Chains A and B, each alone.
Chain A
Amino acid sequence: MGSAELRVVGKALRKVDATAKVTGATKFADDLFLPRMLYAKLLRSPHPHARIVSIDASHAAALPGVKAVLTGKDLPIPFGILPVSQDEHALALDKVRFVGDPVAAVAATSEEAAAAALGRIAVQYEPLRPVTDAVDALAHPEPRIHEYGDLGNLHKLIHLEFGDVEQGFRDADLVREDTFFFEGSTHLPMEQHAAVADWSADGKVTLWSSTQTPHYVHRALAQVLELSPARIRVIACPNGGGFGGKSDPFSHEIVAAKLAMVTGRPVKITLTREEVFYCHRGRHPTLMWVKTGVKKDGAITGMHFRSLLDGGGYGSYGVASTYYTGALQTVTYHVPRYTFQGARAFTNKPPCGPKRGHGTPQPRFALEVHLDKIAEQLGLDPAELRLRHLVPPNSLTANWLRVGTMGLGRCIEKVVQGSGWTDKFKKLPLGKGIGLACSSYITGAGLPIYWNAMPHSGVQLKCDRGGGVTVFCGSTEIGQGSDSILAAIVAEVLGINPFDIAVVTGDTDLTPVDLGSYSSRVTLMTGHAAIQAAERARALIARHAAAQLALPVERVGFADGRVFDVERPELGLSFADAVRLAEAAEGTVGTVGSYTPPPSPGKYRGAGVGPSPAYSYSACVAEVDVDPATGIVRVPKIWIAHDVGRAINAATVMGQIEGSVYMGLGEALMEEMAYRGNRNVVHKIPSLLEYKSPTTLEMCDVVTYVVEDPDPNGPFGAKECGQGPLLPVPPAVANAVYDAVGVRIDEVPITPEKVFKALRSKGKGEEGRVGPKSFPEIPWPEPTRVPPPWEGGDGKAVESGKGGKGRQRAAKAARP
C-alpha cells in the first residue's frame, strides 16, 4: 500500500489511552484496592553472599494483624526467564546472592504491621566470600555463587568465529586495539513495581502486575505454584515505565500469589524505591576490547571483539545479553571477517538483564568511539568513513544476519547537514566540540525465549453490530503506545475511526498470547497479527457488502466508516450496516490473526540472538560544552535521525526517539549503579535523589529526523523506534568531548572527575585518556567456526565446535 492511500497510518494521532492518562484515570497496579486486601512485605538479605543457617519466623507470625509468613521452603521450585537459567527462588532457599535478595515474606492487615513483622524474623547467616565484579569473579572461581555455569563463577563463555580474522588483520593498512568500559545503569521507571493477587475458593488465582511480560509471568506462576495455567489469570496493568525492568517474572509476583492462596484474601505488594534498585535487571557493566583492521579508505578487513559482563547474582536474560554484546557489530558497516568472544560473570550484586537496547549499547559505544579514533588516524572525516562502508540493503552479514532496508546513509546525511557538521568538526573553539555516532537495533527478536513452534503474537477481532470493533491482544502497554498501534492498524484496514475501536490487552484470560513488550518487537509482531485479523474481517464483510451492492468483491472499498464501490464511492453503506449484513448471514463476526518471524539464515549454536525481521538505524550528532577548569560536560543539543521504516503514529515515534535520546544522555553523563568498594557490595545510592538521572535542567534540545524507507518485513513497512535511538548517544557525546578538549573518556558515564583527570594527565604530557587499560585473560572455549556467506558457507558451523568440548578443555586448562 502506498502512503497516499493511508488514512490513519502515518498520522500524528492521540493515543487511545491518552485521555485516561492525563486525567489520572489509568489504573496502575498499586491503584487497585480490593475488599479485605492484605499488604505484603519482603525481608531482604543484608549480606551479599551467605548461606542461610536457620530462619525463625514464629515471633513474626504471632504479631497482631499478621496473617501469613512465607520462607523459601514454601516456594521451593526454581524459576527464571530463560530455560537455561532456572536459578531463582521466590524466597532464598539456602543461600543469598546479593544485598536485597528476598528471604521471607509477610502478609498483614496493614503495610505497617507487615513491616513490623519483618523485624521479628530471625535469620542466621553464614557469610561467604562475595564476588565484587567480573574481574574478581575471574580471579575467584570459588566459592561459587551458583552450582551451574560454564566455569567457576563464569556463567557463560562464548566464542564465535566468522572467517579468518587474522588474515583480515594481515590485509589491513592499519590495525588498532582499544579497551572500553560501560558502567551499569538501571531503568528507574517512575512507577515502583506492584502486584495484587486474588485467590478464589474454586482454585483460581488472579494476578494484576506491573509487568511487561504477562505470558512469561503466567508460565512462571504455573511452574512455581504447581497450578494448571488454566487456573491462573495474569493481567498486565499499564506499566508506569518499563524500559526492560519489568520483563522478568519477579519474587514479589510469586509471593503475592502464594500469600493470596495461603490466606484466601487479596494481597497487594508494592516495592519501595530502594527495592526497585534491588530488582534491577538493568544494563550489565561491560568491559570490552576491540581490534579492527582497516584499509586506508576505512574499509574494515576484520574485527575481533571481546566482552566481559558483570551479571550480578542471577541469570535473568544474561545469556542473551552476552550474545547481544557481539551480535550487531556487523549490521552497520561491512565487516568481512569477525570473531566474537563474550563472557558473563556471576557477582554478588542485583542481577543485570535487559535495559533499553539490551546488550547492544555497550559494544556500540566501544565500536563508535573506536571508529572515531581510526578515522582520526587515517585522516578521514568520521561521517565520510561510515558513509563509505555501509552494509548494503538486502544482504547477509558475516554472522548471518539478514539486513533488509538500510537507511543509515540517509540518517547520517540528515544529522550531518542539520548540525552543520562540516563547519564545526575540529573547528570549534577549545571547550566546544561535536561528535558523531551511529547504530542499529533489532525490530523484535527472531526467536522466542523458550523454544516453541507457535506464533509470537496473536490478535482476535470482534466486530460489533453497532459498528464498534474490539481488538484483543496479549501485548502490554508500557507507555510506548502499543494499544494505539493496534487501533491504528485495524482502523486502517477496516476504514474506520481508530477511536471507535476498543483495545483489550495483556490479560491471559481474555487475550491471545503476545510474548511481551521487549526487544522492540511489539509494533512489528502485533501489527502483522492485527493486519491478518483485520484483513480476514474485511474479506468477510466485503463479501456480503458486495452481494448487497451487486458488485464484484474486488470493487468493495473501506474508508471513513463506510463500505462502498471504489469506482462510484457514493454507492455504499455504513460500516455498521455492512457488519450487520455479515452477522445476519454468518453469525458472530470474529476473526484471528497471528505472526511468526521468518526463519533465521544462521544455523549455528548462538545464531538465535541477533536475527530480526528488520533492523532500524540511527545516526546522532552531539554538541558539547566542556569546562576545562572543572571537567563539567554540558550537552546543549543533539541531532538524531532514525530510520523507522514507516511511522504508524508519527507522534508516538517522536516520543520514542526523544525518550531514547534522553535515556542515552543519562547513561552518557551520569547514570551508574554504584556499590561500596569494600567486600560488602552494598548499593551506594538506591534512591532517586542519589542515582543521578537527567532533570529538565540537564536534558538537551533535540532535533529529530524521521527517515522512512518502508521495510517489506514490517507492518505497512514499520521498523522499531523505542530502543535504537538510545544507542548512538553515549559514543556521540564521548566523541564530542574529544573534539572539545582533546581527551578520550573511554568509559561511561563521562563524569566531571574523569574529564578533569584526563585533562590533568594530558597537561602533564601523558596520555589524555581515562578508561580501562587492559582486558583480562579468559579461558575461552574452542571457537564455533562459521564461514561467512561470501566464503560459501550455509550458515552452519563447519566443525563440532559446539562449545561443549571446548568448554571442557578450557575448564581443564584453568584448573590450578
Chain B
Amino acid sequence: MPVPDAKTKIALDVNGESVEVAFAPHKTLLEVLREDLSLTGTKHGCELGECGTCTVLVDGTPVLSCLVLGLACAGRRVRTVEGMAAGGKLHPLQDAFAELGAAQCGYCTPAFLLAAEALLAETPRPSRDDIRHALAGNLCRCTGYIKIYEAVELAAARMRGERAEPAPETLYGQR
C-alpha cells in the first residue's frame, strides 16, 4: 500500500545548528538524518530497535533513531557522530577509539561513541561494569567489545584532565 508522502517541515537543532527539514511524515529520525540531511554517519543494522547501531543523542539521551519518528524531534537537540569532532580535532572518545583499534569495520562505531559520550556526561569516572551496562544495547561483531571498553576508559581519563596512556598489554598483549 503506497504511503502518503506529502512532506511536513520541522525545525530542530542538529549538532548545534538549527536546521529546517521537510520529509514525509512516516519517516524515522534515522531516515531523515541519512536521506534528508545527508548525515550518513548514523548507520542501521536492523531498523527494528534490536542492535543499537543507529544510536544518536536526543537532548543528550541515547535513542534508537530507527524507532523515533522524525516528526517527534521538532524543536529538540539531536547529536550525531558528525557533531563530535570540533574545529578539525577529534573528540577524546574518537581519538581513543582510533588509537586502540576500537573501530574495526567502523560500522557500529558512531553508535558506540554516542552511547559512551552520554555515559561519560553522567559518569566521568565509570567502572568497567558501568561501561558494560551503558553499552549493553549496542552490538559489535568485530571487537569483542574489549578495545571499546579500554578506549572509553582512556578517553574518560583524558577528559578528566589526566595524562593517560594505554597500558602496553592493551596494544601488545600480555608478555
B partners with A: yes
Complex CA gap A197/B106 in Å reads 23
Given A190-B108, A702-B144: A21 and B43 interface contact (C-beta under 8 Å): no
Cα(A28)–Cα(B170), bound, Å = 28
Using known A-B contacts A24-B82, A650-B172, determine if residue A658 contacts B144 with beta carbons closer than 8 Å.
yes
Contact pattern, A 652-668, Cβ under 8 Å of B = 1, otherwise 0: 11110111011101000
Q: Does A153 contact B (CB under 8 A)?
A: no
Contacts of A113 in B (CB 8 A): 2
Contact bitstring B52-75, A, C-beta under 8 A = 1, else 0: 010000000000000000000000
Q: Are A14 and B98 in contact (CB under 8 A)?
A: yes
CB-CB under 8 A from B11, the residues of chain A are: none
CA distance A703 to B44 in the complex (A): 32
Once A479-B105, A654-B170, A697-B136 are accepted as A-B contacts, the answer to whether A28 and B43 lie under 8 Å apart by CB is yes
Report which of A23, A33, A189 forms a contact with B105, defined as CB distance below 8 A: A189
Say whether B51 faces chain A, with CB atoms less than 8 Å apart: yes
Bound-complex Cα distance A414 to B100 (A):
24
Residues 143-175 of B, flagged 1 when their CB comes within 8 A of A and 0 if not, give: 111110100000000000000000001111111
Asked whether A696 lies within 8 Å of B106 as measured between CB atoms, the reply is no
A143 within 8 A of B: no
Most buried by A among B98, B113, B173: B173
CB distance from B49 to the nearest CB of A (A): 8
Given A18-B98, A24-B82, A659 and B139 touching (CB < 8 A)? no
Contact A654 B97 (CB under 8 A): no
State which of B35, B47, B100, B135 has its C-beta within 8 Å of the C-beta of A696: B135
Q: Of B81, B138, B169, which is within 8 A of A24 by CB?
A: B81
Question: How distant is A289 from chain B, measured CB to nearest CB, in Å?
Answer: 32
**Beta-carbon contact of A24 and B101 below 8 Å:** no
Chain A stretch 4-31: residues in CB contact (< 8 A) with chain B: 12, 14-15, 17-28, 30-31
| Interface membership of B80, Cβ < 8 A | yes
Contacts of A701 in B (CB 8 A): 146
Whether a CB of chain A sits under 8 angstroms from the CB of B19 is no
The answer to whether A22 touches B143 (Cβ under 8 A) is no
How many whole Å from A707's CB to the nearest CB in chain B? 9
Stretch touching chain B among A166-174, A236-244, A575-583:
A236-244
Q: Are A661 and B50 CB-contacts (below 8 A) given A20-B106, A24-B41?
A: no
- The listed residue (A22, A27, A653) touching B109 by CB distance below 8 A is A22
Over the window 268-284 of chain A, the binary record of Cβ atoms lying under 8 Å from chain B Cβ atoms (1 yes, 0 no) is 00001100000000000
Q: Give the A interface residue count (CB, 8 A).
A: 71
A705 close to chain B: CB less than 8 A? yes
Pick from A20, A30, A190, A242: contact of B51, CB under 8 Å: A190
Q: In the complex, are the beta carbons of B84 and A695 less than 8 A apart?
A: no
B residues less than 8 Å from A187 (CB atoms): 141
Whether A191 and B45, one on each chain, are in contact in the complex, defined by CB atoms closer than 8 angstroms, is: yes
In whole Å, how far is B155's beta carbon from the nearest beta carbon of chain A?
A: 11
Which residue on chain A has the smallest CB distance to residue B85?
A23
A385 at the interface (CB under 8 A from B): no
CA distance A654 to B102 in the complex (A): 10
A192 contacts partner chain B, Cβ-Cβ < 8 Å: yes
Distance of A46 from chain B, by nearest CB (Å): 20
State whether A21 touches B109 (Cβ < 8 A). Answer: yes
Interface residues of A in 234-264 (CB under 8 A from B): 238-243
A-B pair count, CB < 8 Å, reads 200
Residues of A within 8 A of B145 (CB): 662, 696, 699
User: Is A116 at the interface (CB under 8 A from chain B)?
Assistant: yes
Residue of A nearest to B103 (CB): A21
Q: Which of A190, A273, A661, A705 contacts B144 (CB 8 A)?
A: A661
Give CA–CA (A654, B142) in the complex, Å.
12
Shortest Cβ gap from A353 to chain B (Å): 17
**Cβ < 8 Å to A, chain B residues 15-56:** 34-35, 38-48, 50-51, 53
CB neighbours (8 Å) of B82 from chain A are 23-24
**Docked-complex contact B140 and A190, CB < 8 angstroms:** yes
- How near does chain A come to B90, taking the closest CB pair, in angstroms? 7
B171 in contact with A19 (CB, 8 Å):
no
A64 within 8 Å of B by Cβ? yes
Q: Which residue of B lies closest to A32 (CB)?
A: B40
A112 in contact with B51 given A22-B94, A654-B173, A661-B144 (CB within 8 Å): no
In the bound complex, residues from chain A placing their C-beta under 8 Å from that of B35 are 33
Q: How far is the CB of A258 from chain B (nearest CB, A)?
A: 25
Q: Complex Cα distance A658/B174, Å?
A: 13
Q: Is the CB of B43 within 8 A of A191?
A: yes
Nearest Cβ distance between residue B9 and chain A, in whole angstroms? 19
Given A22-B106, A272-B47, answer yes or no on A695-B139 (Cβ-Cβ < 8 Å).
yes
* In the assembled complex, A651 has its CB within 8 A of some CB on chain B: yes
Choose from B44, B47, B84, B100 the contact partner of A651 (Cβ within 8 Å).
B100
B103-118: contact bitstring with A at CB < 8 Å (1 yes, 0 no)?
Answer: 1111111100100000
A→B interface (CB under 8 Å): 12, 14-15, 17-28, 30-31, 33, 64-65, 110, 112-113, 116, 187-192, 238-243, 272-273, 414, 418, 478-481, 650-655, 657-659, 661-663, 665, 687-689, 693, 695-697, 699, 701-706
Known contacts A191-B107, A689-B50; 7 additional CB pairs below 8 A are A22-B113, A23-B84, A24-B40, A240-B107, A696-B131, A697-B132, A706-B172
Residues of B within 8 A of A (CB): 1-3, 5, 34-35, 38-48, 50-51, 53, 80-82, 84-85, 90, 94-95, 97-101, 103-110, 113, 131-133, 135-147, 149, 169-175
Q: Could you pull out 24 A-B pairs where Cβ atoms are within 8 angstroms? A: A12-B172, A22-B113, A24-B109, A31-B34, A190-B139, A191-B45, A192-B45, A273-B45, A273-B47, A479-B104, A479-B142, A480-B104, A481-B101, A652-B101, A654-B171, A657-B173, A659-B104, A662-B145, A688-B45, A688-B51, A695-B136, A695-B139, A702-B146, A705-B173
